[in-house]
Amino acid sequence: MDNWTREEWERQLEESDVAVFYLYTPLCGTCAVASKMMNVITVMKPEIPIGKADLNYLEDLAIDYKIESVPCLLIAKEGVLQEKVYAFHSVPDLLMKIS
């Protein structure tokens, strides 16, 4: 999972059928668990562009997308945000949401 800027996320929205952006903060314990799940998903779905970013450095994105908490997973299909996921229940659950 590569670190993305807002510009890279927006480029993926334009170029990809499905794009996923994982937002976290480094001191969040739940984010540490979610990060491990996202690493598994990245290996299982290499065809889907998946990026990550520390939300502390993307305040404008947090405001524009009305991010309520971390971890947060933005899932876009055909350039349109489809879902914001805050509950990272399991890898299979996240795969179902992404696919």
pTM here? 0.95
Q: Is the separation of the CB atoms in 62 and 25 below 8 Å?
A: no
Once rounded to an integer, what is the mean pLDDT over residues 39-68? 96
Residue 57: what residue type? Y
For residue 99, what pLDDT is reported? 86
Count other Cβ atoms within 10 Å, centred on residue 10: 16
Whether 62 has a pLDDT exceeding 90, the answer reads yes
Contacts of 93 (CB under 8 A, 6+ apart): none
State yes or no: pLDDT of 50 exceeds 90.
Answer: yes
DSSP 3-state assignment of 59? helix
* Mean pLDDT along residues 60-80: 97
| The CATH number of domain 2-94, selected from 2.40.160.150, 3.40.50.720, 3.40.30.10, 3.40.50.450 | 3.40.30.10
The DSSP bridge partners found for residue 84 are 74
